[in-house]
Chains A and B, each alone.
Chain A
Amino acid sequence: MGRSLALFTYKMRFFFGPALRGRFGPLAYLALILIFLPQGYAFGYAIGLSLRTLDPAAAILVLSAPLATIFSVGLLYSLGAGVTAHVSEFDFFLTADVRPREYLIADLTFQFVSLLAAAGLAAGVAAVAMVLAAGRSIVAAVPLFGVFALYVAFVLLTSQVFVILRIRFPRVPVRLLTLPVIGLSLLPVLGVAVPGLPIRFDELPLPSIAFAALGLAVLRAIPPSLPDVAICFKPEIS
Protein backbone atom coordinates (compact mmCIF):
# COMPACT_ATOMS: atom_id res chain seq x y z
CA MET A 1 0.00 0.00 0.00
CA GLY A 2 2.89 2.32 0.78
CA ARG A 3 4.25 2.00 -2.72
CA SER A 4 0.86 2.57 -4.32
CA LEU A 5 0.50 5.71 -2.23
CA ALA A 6 3.96 6.92 -3.26
CA LEU A 7 3.17 6.24 -6.92
CA PHE A 8 -0.19 7.99 -6.63
CA THR A 9 1.28 11.11 -5.02
CA TYR A 10 4.11 11.13 -7.58
CA LYS A 11 1.56 11.06 -10.40
CA MET A 12 -0.48 13.83 -8.80
CA ARG A 13 2.56 16.03 -8.28
CA PHE A 14 3.87 15.28 -11.74
CA PHE A 15 0.52 16.03 -13.38
CA PHE A 16 -0.32 19.14 -11.37
CA GLY A 17 3.31 20.24 -10.88
CA PRO A 18 3.45 22.68 -13.80
CA ALA A 19 0.32 24.45 -12.55
CA LEU A 20 1.17 24.41 -8.87
CA ARG A 21 4.72 25.63 -9.43
CA GLY A 22 3.93 27.86 -12.39
CA ARG A 23 3.55 31.63 -12.32
CA PHE A 24 -0.14 31.62 -11.43
CA GLY A 25 -0.09 28.62 -9.14
CA PRO A 26 -3.33 26.61 -9.07
CA LEU A 27 -5.32 29.57 -10.43
CA ALA A 28 -5.02 28.31 -14.01
CA TYR A 29 -6.71 25.04 -13.08
CA LEU A 30 -9.29 26.81 -10.99
CA ALA A 31 -10.17 29.09 -13.92
CA LEU A 32 -10.53 26.10 -16.23
CA ILE A 33 -12.80 24.35 -13.77
CA LEU A 34 -14.93 27.46 -13.23
CA ILE A 35 -15.41 27.94 -16.99
CA PHE A 36 -17.42 24.72 -17.09
CA LEU A 37 -19.71 25.53 -14.17
CA PRO A 38 -22.35 27.48 -16.14
CA GLN A 39 -22.47 24.72 -18.76
CA GLY A 40 -22.83 22.13 -16.01
CA TYR A 41 -25.71 24.05 -14.44
CA ALA A 42 -27.47 24.60 -17.77
CA PHE A 43 -27.02 20.95 -18.79
CA GLY A 44 -28.32 19.66 -15.46
CA TYR A 45 -31.27 22.05 -15.40
CA ALA A 46 -32.30 21.14 -18.98
CA ILE A 47 -32.18 17.42 -18.22
CA GLY A 48 -34.02 17.90 -14.93
CA LEU A 49 -36.80 19.86 -16.64
CA SER A 50 -37.22 17.32 -19.42
CA LEU A 51 -37.46 14.49 -16.88
CA ARG A 52 -40.49 16.10 -15.23
CA THR A 53 -42.77 15.32 -18.15
CA LEU A 54 -41.26 12.08 -19.51
CA ASP A 55 -42.48 8.59 -18.71
CA PRO A 56 -39.92 6.41 -16.86
CA ALA A 57 -38.74 4.54 -19.98
CA ALA A 58 -38.04 7.74 -21.89
CA ALA A 59 -36.51 9.41 -18.82
CA ILE A 60 -34.10 6.52 -18.35
CA LEU A 61 -33.05 6.83 -22.00
CA VAL A 62 -32.46 10.57 -21.67
CA LEU A 63 -30.35 10.05 -18.55
CA SER A 64 -28.47 7.11 -20.03
CA ALA A 65 -27.41 8.91 -23.23
CA PRO A 66 -24.66 11.05 -21.60
CA LEU A 67 -23.64 8.08 -19.45
CA ALA A 68 -23.35 5.90 -22.55
CA THR A 69 -21.17 8.54 -24.15
CA ILE A 70 -18.88 8.57 -21.11
CA PHE A 71 -18.69 4.78 -21.27
CA SER A 72 -17.75 4.75 -24.94
CA VAL A 73 -15.09 7.43 -24.31
CA GLY A 74 -13.70 5.20 -21.56
CA LEU A 75 -13.55 2.27 -23.96
CA LEU A 76 -11.93 4.42 -26.63
CA TYR A 77 -9.35 5.38 -24.00
CA SER A 78 -8.67 1.69 -23.41
CA LEU A 79 -7.74 1.30 -27.09
CA GLY A 80 -4.70 3.48 -26.43
CA ALA A 81 -2.06 3.01 -23.75
CA GLY A 82 -4.70 2.87 -21.02
CA VAL A 83 -2.33 3.95 -18.29
CA THR A 84 -0.99 7.37 -17.42
CA ALA A 85 2.69 6.54 -17.05
CA HIS A 86 5.36 9.18 -17.62
CA VAL A 87 8.73 8.09 -19.03
CA SER A 88 10.33 8.66 -15.63
CA GLU A 89 7.95 6.10 -14.12
CA PHE A 90 9.07 3.48 -16.63
CA ASP A 91 12.74 4.25 -16.11
CA PHE A 92 12.88 4.55 -12.34
CA PHE A 93 9.76 2.90 -10.89
CA LEU A 94 8.92 0.05 -13.23
CA THR A 95 12.56 -1.04 -13.15
CA ALA A 96 12.05 -1.55 -9.40
CA ASP A 97 10.22 -4.54 -7.93
CA VAL A 98 6.84 -2.81 -8.15
CA ARG A 99 4.05 -5.34 -8.52
CA PRO A 100 1.54 -4.80 -11.32
CA ARG A 101 -1.30 -4.59 -8.80
CA GLU A 102 0.51 -1.87 -6.85
CA TYR A 103 0.91 0.15 -10.01
CA LEU A 104 -2.65 -0.50 -11.12
CA ILE A 105 -4.10 0.70 -7.80
CA ALA A 106 -2.02 3.89 -7.99
CA ASP A 107 -2.91 4.55 -11.61
CA LEU A 108 -6.64 3.93 -11.20
CA THR A 109 -6.77 6.10 -8.09
CA PHE A 110 -4.90 8.84 -9.93
CA GLN A 111 -7.25 8.65 -12.91
CA PHE A 112 -10.32 8.70 -10.68
CA VAL A 113 -9.13 11.55 -8.47
CA SER A 114 -7.84 13.70 -11.36
CA LEU A 115 -11.09 13.14 -13.29
CA LEU A 116 -13.16 14.16 -10.30
CA ALA A 117 -10.86 17.12 -9.65
CA ALA A 118 -11.25 18.28 -13.24
CA ALA A 119 -14.94 17.56 -13.81
CA GLY A 120 -16.31 16.87 -10.35
CA LEU A 121 -17.32 20.43 -9.56
CA ALA A 122 -19.15 20.86 -12.88
CA ALA A 123 -20.81 17.47 -12.40
CA GLY A 124 -21.78 18.42 -8.85
CA VAL A 125 -23.32 21.68 -10.07
CA ALA A 126 -25.17 19.73 -12.79
CA ALA A 127 -26.52 17.36 -10.12
CA VAL A 128 -27.75 20.31 -8.04
CA ALA A 129 -29.43 21.89 -11.08
CA MET A 130 -31.01 18.57 -12.00
CA VAL A 131 -32.61 17.97 -8.60
CA LEU A 132 -33.81 21.59 -8.40
CA ALA A 133 -35.36 21.39 -11.86
CA ALA A 134 -36.96 18.08 -10.96
CA GLY A 135 -38.52 19.72 -7.91
CA ARG A 136 -36.52 17.80 -5.30
CA SER A 137 -34.62 19.01 -2.29
CA ILE A 138 -31.04 20.09 -2.94
CA VAL A 139 -29.90 17.31 -0.56
CA ALA A 140 -30.90 14.79 -3.26
CA ALA A 141 -27.93 16.05 -5.29
CA VAL A 142 -25.60 14.18 -2.93
CA PRO A 143 -26.80 10.63 -3.77
CA LEU A 144 -27.19 11.67 -7.42
CA PHE A 145 -23.57 12.80 -7.53
CA GLY A 146 -22.65 9.56 -5.73
CA VAL A 147 -24.27 7.53 -8.52
CA PHE A 148 -22.29 9.55 -11.07
CA ALA A 149 -18.99 9.08 -9.19
CA LEU A 150 -19.70 5.37 -8.93
CA TYR A 151 -20.35 5.27 -12.65
CA VAL A 152 -17.05 7.02 -13.42
CA ALA A 153 -15.25 4.45 -11.24
CA PHE A 154 -17.08 1.67 -13.09
CA VAL A 155 -16.05 3.08 -16.50
CA LEU A 156 -12.41 3.38 -15.39
CA LEU A 157 -12.38 -0.19 -14.09
CA THR A 158 -14.00 -1.52 -17.25
CA SER A 159 -11.51 0.28 -19.51
CA GLN A 160 -8.69 -1.08 -17.35
CA VAL A 161 -10.06 -4.62 -17.75
CA PHE A 162 -9.71 -4.24 -21.52
CA VAL A 163 -6.18 -2.88 -21.15
CA ILE A 164 -5.18 -5.77 -18.89
CA LEU A 165 -6.76 -8.31 -21.25
CA ARG A 166 -4.77 -6.82 -24.11
CA ILE A 167 -1.50 -7.06 -22.20
CA ARG A 168 -2.23 -10.46 -20.66
CA PHE A 169 -3.32 -12.03 -23.94
CA PRO A 170 -1.28 -10.27 -26.63
CA ARG A 171 -2.46 -12.65 -29.34
CA VAL A 172 -6.15 -12.11 -28.72
CA PRO A 173 -7.48 -9.19 -30.81
CA VAL A 174 -8.83 -7.36 -27.77
CA ARG A 175 -8.87 -3.99 -29.56
CA LEU A 176 -11.04 -5.47 -32.28
CA LEU A 177 -13.39 -6.99 -29.69
CA THR A 178 -13.66 -3.64 -27.95
CA LEU A 179 -15.24 -2.02 -30.99
CA PRO A 180 -18.55 -3.97 -30.90
CA VAL A 181 -18.73 -3.30 -27.15
CA ILE A 182 -18.43 0.41 -27.91
CA GLY A 183 -21.24 0.00 -30.46
CA LEU A 184 -23.42 -1.81 -27.92
CA SER A 185 -22.73 0.77 -25.26
CA LEU A 186 -24.00 3.53 -27.56
CA LEU A 187 -27.42 1.88 -28.07
CA PRO A 188 -29.17 4.18 -25.55
CA VAL A 189 -28.01 7.19 -27.60
CA LEU A 190 -29.62 5.55 -30.63
CA GLY A 191 -32.82 5.18 -28.64
CA VAL A 192 -32.88 8.94 -27.95
CA ALA A 193 -31.80 9.97 -31.45
CA VAL A 194 -34.20 7.68 -33.33
CA PRO A 195 -37.42 7.33 -31.34
CA GLY A 196 -39.91 4.70 -32.45
CA LEU A 197 -37.45 1.87 -33.02
CA PRO A 198 -39.03 -1.46 -31.99
CA ILE A 199 -36.50 -2.03 -29.23
CA ARG A 200 -37.09 -1.57 -25.49
CA PHE A 201 -33.82 0.27 -24.97
CA ASP A 202 -34.65 1.03 -21.34
CA GLU A 203 -34.75 -2.69 -20.57
CA LEU A 204 -31.37 -3.56 -22.08
CA PRO A 205 -28.92 -4.85 -19.45
CA LEU A 206 -26.43 -2.08 -20.16
CA PRO A 207 -24.51 -0.34 -17.39
CA SER A 208 -25.50 3.14 -18.61
CA ILE A 209 -29.21 2.13 -18.49
CA ALA A 210 -28.83 0.64 -15.03
CA PHE A 211 -27.03 3.68 -13.63
CA ALA A 212 -29.55 5.97 -15.33
CA ALA A 213 -32.36 4.00 -13.64
CA LEU A 214 -30.62 4.49 -10.30
CA GLY A 215 -30.28 8.21 -11.02
CA LEU A 216 -33.97 8.45 -11.91
CA ALA A 217 -34.88 6.65 -8.71
CA VAL A 218 -32.93 9.31 -6.78
CA LEU A 219 -34.55 12.14 -8.76
CA ARG A 220 -38.07 10.82 -8.32
CA ALA A 221 -37.56 9.52 -4.77
CA ILE A 222 -38.62 5.98 -5.65
CA PRO A 223 -36.80 2.80 -4.62
CA PRO A 224 -34.40 1.50 -7.30
CA SER A 225 -35.14 -1.81 -8.95
CA LEU A 226 -32.99 -4.73 -7.83
CA PRO A 227 -31.87 -5.75 -11.36
CA ASP A 228 -30.52 -2.24 -11.92
CA VAL A 229 -28.59 -2.35 -8.67
CA ALA A 230 -27.29 -5.80 -9.58
CA ILE A 231 -26.01 -4.60 -12.95
CA CYS A 232 -24.36 -1.57 -11.36
CA PHE A 233 -22.47 -3.70 -8.88
CA LYS A 234 -21.69 -6.66 -11.15
CA PRO A 235 -19.67 -5.26 -14.03
CA GLU A 236 -19.16 -8.69 -15.59
CA ILE A 237 -22.86 -8.89 -16.50
CA SER A 238 -22.33 -6.10 -19.01
Chain B
Amino acid sequence: MAFTIDVQQLWKSYEGKPALQGLFLDAHAGEIVGLIGPNGAGKTTTLKILVGLLRPDYGVVRVKDHDVLADPVNYKADIGYMPEAPTLPEYLTPSEFLGYVGRIRNLPRDRLTARTRELLTILDLAPKADETIASLSKGMKAKIAFAAAIIHEPSTLILDEPLIGIDPAGQHLLKERLMGIARAGGTVLVSTHQLDTAERLCDRVAIVNHGRNVATGSLESLRASVDSGEHASLEEIFLRLTQEATVPEAEAPRRRGWLRRG
Protein backbone atom coordinates (compact mmCIF):
# COMPACT_ATOMS: atom_id res chain seq x y z
CA MET B 1 0.00 0.00 0.00
CA ALA B 2 1.46 3.33 -1.07
CA PHE B 3 2.07 5.99 1.54
CA THR B 4 0.21 9.26 1.36
CA ILE B 5 3.09 10.92 3.16
CA ASP B 6 6.55 9.47 2.71
CA VAL B 7 9.56 11.21 4.22
CA GLN B 8 13.00 9.64 4.02
CA GLN B 9 16.36 10.76 5.35
CA LEU B 10 15.27 14.31 6.01
CA TRP B 11 18.03 16.73 7.00
CA LYS B 12 17.69 20.38 7.76
CA SER B 13 19.86 22.79 9.66
CA TYR B 14 19.51 26.44 10.59
CA GLU B 15 22.80 28.37 10.43
CA GLY B 16 24.74 25.17 10.96
CA LYS B 17 22.61 23.94 13.84
CA PRO B 18 20.88 20.68 12.92
CA ALA B 19 17.10 20.62 13.29
CA LEU B 20 16.52 17.36 11.44
CA GLN B 21 19.06 14.57 11.26
CA GLY B 22 17.84 11.89 8.89
CA LEU B 23 14.18 11.76 9.88
CA PHE B 24 11.83 9.13 8.44
CA LEU B 25 8.07 9.49 8.53
CA ASP B 26 5.13 7.94 6.74
CA ALA B 27 1.35 8.00 6.84
CA HIS B 28 -1.29 5.99 5.00
CA ALA B 29 -4.70 6.98 3.78
CA GLY B 30 -7.31 6.56 6.47
CA GLU B 31 -5.04 7.01 9.47
CA ILE B 32 -4.16 9.69 11.94
CA VAL B 33 -0.46 9.85 12.69
CA GLY B 34 0.82 11.79 15.68
CA LEU B 35 4.20 13.49 15.60
CA ILE B 36 5.38 13.94 19.16
CA GLY B 37 8.62 15.03 20.69
CA PRO B 38 10.13 17.52 23.10
CA ASN B 39 10.52 21.21 22.23
CA GLY B 40 13.07 21.64 19.45
CA ALA B 41 12.74 18.03 18.30
CA GLY B 42 12.07 19.10 14.71
CA LYS B 43 8.31 18.62 14.50
CA THR B 44 7.39 22.04 13.12
CA THR B 45 10.35 21.98 10.72
CA THR B 46 9.14 18.63 9.37
CA LEU B 47 5.60 19.89 8.88
CA LYS B 48 6.79 23.10 7.21
CA ILE B 49 8.88 21.08 4.78
CA LEU B 50 5.85 18.92 4.00
CA VAL B 51 3.69 21.94 3.14
CA GLY B 52 6.45 23.61 1.13
CA LEU B 53 7.27 26.49 3.46
CA LEU B 54 10.83 25.22 3.98
CA ARG B 55 13.26 23.31 1.79
CA PRO B 56 15.27 20.52 3.34
CA ASP B 57 19.04 20.31 3.01
CA TYR B 58 18.75 16.70 1.98
CA GLY B 59 16.16 13.96 1.75
CA VAL B 60 13.11 12.65 -0.05
CA VAL B 61 9.63 14.05 0.55
CA ARG B 62 6.66 12.56 -1.24
CA VAL B 63 3.00 13.41 -0.81
CA LYS B 64 0.62 11.15 -2.72
CA ASP B 65 3.51 10.05 -4.93
CA HIS B 66 4.40 13.64 -5.81
CA ASP B 67 8.02 14.51 -5.31
CA VAL B 68 7.49 17.64 -3.29
CA LEU B 69 10.95 18.99 -4.03
CA ALA B 70 10.71 18.45 -7.78
CA ASP B 71 7.16 19.78 -8.13
CA PRO B 72 6.63 22.13 -5.21
CA VAL B 73 3.23 23.53 -6.25
CA ASN B 74 0.65 21.10 -7.66
CA TYR B 75 0.55 18.68 -4.74
CA LYS B 76 -0.59 21.47 -2.42
CA ALA B 77 -4.06 21.59 -3.98
CA ASP B 78 -5.13 18.63 -1.88
CA ILE B 79 -3.38 19.57 1.36
CA GLY B 80 -4.72 21.49 4.32
CA TYR B 81 -2.35 23.07 6.82
CA MET B 82 -2.95 24.57 10.20
CA PRO B 83 0.12 26.29 11.66
CA GLU B 84 1.08 26.42 15.29
CA ALA B 85 -0.12 29.69 16.86
CA PRO B 86 -1.72 30.99 13.64
CA THR B 87 -1.40 34.69 12.87
CA LEU B 88 -4.58 35.90 11.25
CA PRO B 89 -5.55 39.21 9.62
CA GLU B 90 -6.98 40.99 12.66
CA TYR B 91 -9.08 43.50 10.76
CA LEU B 92 -10.95 41.04 8.60
CA THR B 93 -13.97 39.10 9.81
CA PRO B 94 -13.93 35.27 9.90
CA SER B 95 -16.30 35.22 6.91
CA GLU B 96 -14.07 37.54 4.91
CA PHE B 97 -10.90 35.62 5.74
CA LEU B 98 -12.43 32.23 4.90
CA GLY B 99 -13.76 33.82 1.71
CA TYR B 100 -10.21 34.73 0.67
CA VAL B 101 -8.85 31.29 1.58
CA GLY B 102 -11.64 29.68 -0.44
CA ARG B 103 -10.92 31.89 -3.45
CA ILE B 104 -7.23 31.02 -3.25
CA ARG B 105 -8.29 27.37 -3.06
CA ASN B 106 -10.35 27.87 -6.23
CA LEU B 107 -13.70 27.03 -4.67
CA PRO B 108 -16.67 28.03 -6.85
CA ARG B 109 -18.54 31.02 -5.41
CA ASP B 110 -21.70 29.07 -4.43
CA ARG B 111 -19.71 26.30 -2.86
CA LEU B 112 -17.55 28.78 -0.99
CA THR B 113 -20.55 30.58 0.49
CA ALA B 114 -22.14 27.34 1.61
CA ARG B 115 -18.91 25.90 2.95
CA THR B 116 -18.06 29.06 4.90
CA ARG B 117 -21.49 29.08 6.51
CA GLU B 118 -21.26 25.36 7.26
CA LEU B 119 -17.83 25.60 8.91
CA LEU B 120 -18.71 28.67 10.95
CA THR B 121 -21.82 26.89 12.22
CA ILE B 122 -20.08 23.59 12.97
CA LEU B 123 -17.24 25.32 14.80
CA ASP B 124 -19.64 27.47 16.80
CA LEU B 125 -18.36 30.66 15.19
CA ALA B 126 -21.54 31.73 13.42
CA PRO B 127 -22.42 34.44 15.98
CA LYS B 128 -18.96 35.96 15.44
CA ALA B 129 -18.95 35.64 11.65
CA ASP B 130 -19.10 39.39 11.06
CA GLU B 131 -16.94 40.61 13.91
CA THR B 132 -13.29 41.42 13.32
CA ILE B 133 -10.86 38.62 14.14
CA ALA B 134 -9.08 41.02 16.52
CA SER B 135 -12.08 40.83 18.84
CA LEU B 136 -12.07 37.02 19.07
CA SER B 137 -10.48 34.79 21.71
CA LYS B 138 -7.37 32.70 21.09
CA GLY B 139 -9.46 29.54 20.88
CA MET B 140 -11.79 31.07 18.32
CA LYS B 141 -8.83 32.16 16.23
CA ALA B 142 -7.52 28.59 16.33
CA LYS B 143 -10.90 27.37 15.12
CA ILE B 144 -10.80 29.86 12.22
CA ALA B 145 -7.35 28.55 11.30
CA PHE B 146 -8.74 25.01 11.40
CA ALA B 147 -11.65 26.05 9.21
CA ALA B 148 -9.18 27.60 6.75
CA ALA B 149 -7.23 24.34 6.66
CA ILE B 150 -10.27 22.22 5.77
CA ILE B 151 -12.39 24.64 3.74
CA HIS B 152 -11.45 22.93 0.47
CA GLU B 153 -11.96 19.45 1.95
CA PRO B 154 -8.41 18.22 1.46
CA SER B 155 -7.62 14.55 1.69
CA THR B 156 -4.33 15.24 3.49
CA LEU B 157 -4.34 17.36 6.59
CA ILE B 158 -1.21 18.58 8.34
CA LEU B 159 -1.78 20.19 11.71
CA ASP B 160 0.76 21.75 14.04
CA GLU B 161 -0.45 21.78 17.65
CA PRO B 162 -4.08 22.28 16.58
CA LEU B 163 -5.66 22.01 20.02
CA ILE B 164 -3.69 24.68 21.85
CA GLY B 165 -5.95 27.37 23.30
CA ILE B 166 -9.18 25.63 22.36
CA ASP B 167 -11.71 24.84 25.10
CA PRO B 168 -12.56 21.17 25.87
CA ALA B 169 -15.79 21.25 23.87
CA GLY B 170 -13.94 22.74 20.92
CA GLN B 171 -11.17 20.17 21.24
CA HIS B 172 -13.74 17.40 21.22
CA LEU B 173 -15.30 18.91 18.11
CA LEU B 174 -11.98 19.14 16.30
CA LYS B 175 -11.01 15.58 17.22
CA GLU B 176 -14.37 14.35 15.93
CA ARG B 177 -13.73 16.15 12.65
CA LEU B 178 -10.25 14.67 12.35
CA MET B 179 -11.54 11.17 12.97
CA GLY B 180 -14.26 11.78 10.43
CA ILE B 181 -11.69 12.85 7.83
CA ALA B 182 -9.61 9.73 8.50
CA ARG B 183 -12.70 7.48 8.36
CA ALA B 184 -13.51 9.00 4.97
CA GLY B 185 -10.10 7.88 3.70
CA GLY B 186 -8.13 11.04 4.42
CA THR B 187 -4.71 11.24 6.02
CA VAL B 188 -4.07 13.34 9.09
CA LEU B 189 -0.62 14.17 10.41
CA VAL B 190 -0.78 16.03 13.68
CA SER B 191 1.99 17.37 15.82
CA THR B 192 1.07 17.66 19.48
CA HIS B 193 2.42 17.90 23.00
CA GLN B 194 -0.83 16.55 24.42
CA LEU B 195 0.10 12.92 24.84
CA ASP B 196 -3.23 11.78 26.23
CA THR B 197 -4.90 13.27 23.18
CA ALA B 198 -2.40 11.61 20.88
CA GLU B 199 -2.99 8.33 22.64
CA ARG B 200 -6.72 8.47 22.04
CA LEU B 201 -6.73 10.16 18.65
CA CYS B 202 -3.84 8.69 16.69
CA ASP B 203 -3.60 5.31 15.02
CA ARG B 204 0.19 5.56 15.11
CA VAL B 205 2.68 7.95 16.62
CA ALA B 206 6.18 8.91 15.58
CA ILE B 207 8.33 9.96 18.52
CA VAL B 208 11.16 12.26 17.50
CA ASN B 209 14.02 13.76 19.43
CA HIS B 210 17.00 15.81 18.23
CA GLY B 211 15.57 15.64 14.69
CA ARG B 212 15.65 11.85 14.61
CA ASN B 213 13.17 9.03 14.97
CA VAL B 214 13.12 7.51 18.39
CA ALA B 215 10.24 5.14 17.76
CA THR B 216 7.27 4.82 15.43
CA GLY B 217 4.22 2.64 15.65
CA SER B 218 0.91 1.99 17.32
CA LEU B 219 0.64 2.28 21.08
CA GLU B 220 0.74 -1.51 21.38
CA SER B 221 3.88 -1.84 19.31
CA LEU B 222 5.57 0.95 21.25
CA ARG B 223 4.69 -0.76 24.53
CA ALA B 224 6.23 -3.94 23.21
CA SER B 225 9.34 -2.19 21.93
CA VAL B 226 10.17 -0.64 25.28
CA ASP B 227 9.09 -3.73 27.17
CA SER B 228 6.67 -1.79 29.33
CA GLY B 229 3.51 -3.26 30.77
CA GLU B 230 0.40 -3.60 28.63
CA HIS B 231 -1.18 -0.67 30.46
CA ALA B 232 1.73 1.75 30.05
CA SER B 233 0.52 5.13 28.82
CA LEU B 234 1.99 6.98 25.87
CA GLU B 235 3.35 9.50 28.33
CA GLU B 236 5.34 6.81 30.16
CA ILE B 237 6.64 5.40 26.90
CA PHE B 238 7.49 8.86 25.59
CA LEU B 239 9.40 9.86 28.71
CA ARG B 240 11.32 6.62 28.76
CA LEU B 241 12.25 6.76 25.09
CA THR B 242 13.19 10.43 24.96
CA GLN B 243 15.23 10.26 28.15
CA GLU B 244 17.04 7.17 26.91
CA ALA B 245 17.72 8.73 23.54
CA THR B 246 20.70 10.93 24.16
CA VAL B 247 21.63 11.06 20.52
CA PRO B 248 24.89 12.72 19.52
CA GLU B 249 24.73 15.11 16.59
CA ALA B 250 25.48 13.35 13.35
CA GLU B 251 27.17 14.66 10.25
CA ALA B 252 24.90 15.23 7.28
CA PRO B 253 25.51 12.93 4.32
CA ARG B 254 27.85 14.19 1.63
CA ARG B 255 25.90 15.65 -1.24
CA ARG B 256 26.35 15.61 -4.96
CA GLY B 257 24.37 18.67 -5.93
CA TRP B 258 22.26 20.07 -3.17
CA LEU B 259 19.57 17.46 -2.97
CA ARG B 260 18.92 13.80 -3.41
CA ARG B 261 15.58 13.06 -4.92
CA GLY B 262 15.13 9.36 -4.39
Contacts and interface: CB of A to CB of B under 8 A. Distances in A.
A99 B73 contact: yes
Interface stretch (B84-92, B185-193, B217-225): B84-92
A88 B53 contact: no
A2 interface: yes
Contacts of A93: 101, 104
B104 A91 contact: no
Interface stretch (B32-40, B74-82, B239-247): B74-82
B165 interface: no
B87 A17 contact: no
Contacts of A96: 76-77, 101, 104-105
Contact of A17 (B90, B105, B148, B149): B90
Given A94-B52, A97-B77, A86 B103 contact: no
Nearest to B96: A13
Nearest to B105: A96
Interface residues of B, number: 30
A161 to B, nearest CB: 21
A10, A18, A99 — most chain B CB neighbours (10 Å)? A10
B106 interface: yes
Contact of B86 (A10, A17, A91): A91
Interface in B103-136: 103-106, 132
Contacts, number: 74
B51 interface: yes
B170 interface: no
Interface residues of A, number: 26
Contacts of B81: 91-92, 95
A10 B83 contact: no
Given A10-B100, A94-B53, A86 B74 contact: no
A34 B255 CA distance: 58
B100, B105, B149 — most chain A CB neighbours (10 Å)? B100
A237 interface: no
B52 A86 contact: no
Given A3-B104, A6-B100, A97 B87 contact: no
Nearest to B101: A92
A90 B104 contact: no
A63 interface: no
A98 B101 CA distance: 11
Nearest to A20: B91
Nearest to A98: B104
Interface in A71-119: 86-88, 90-100
B88 A88 contact: yes
B92 A86 contact: no
Contacts of B91: 13-14, 17-18, 20-21
A7 interface: yes
Contact of A21 (B51, B86, B103, B132): B132
Nearest to A87: B87
Contacts of B101: 92-93, 96
Contacts of B100: 6, 9-10
Given A21-B91, A88-B87, A95 B74 contact: no
Interface in A1-52: 2-3, 6-7, 9-10, 13-14, 17-18, 20-21
Contacts of A13: 89, 91-92, 96
Interface of B: 51-53, 73-77, 79, 81, 83, 86-92, 96-97, 100-101, 103-106, 132, 145, 148-149
Interface of A: 2-3, 6-7, 9-10, 13-14, 17-18, 20-21, 86-88, 90-100
5 contacts: A2-B106, A17-B91, A17-B92, A92-B104, A97-B77
Q: What 8 A-B pairs have minimum CB-CB distances, sorted nearest first?
A: A17-B91, A6-B103, A87-B87, A97-B77, A95-B81, A97-B76, A95-B51, A91-B83
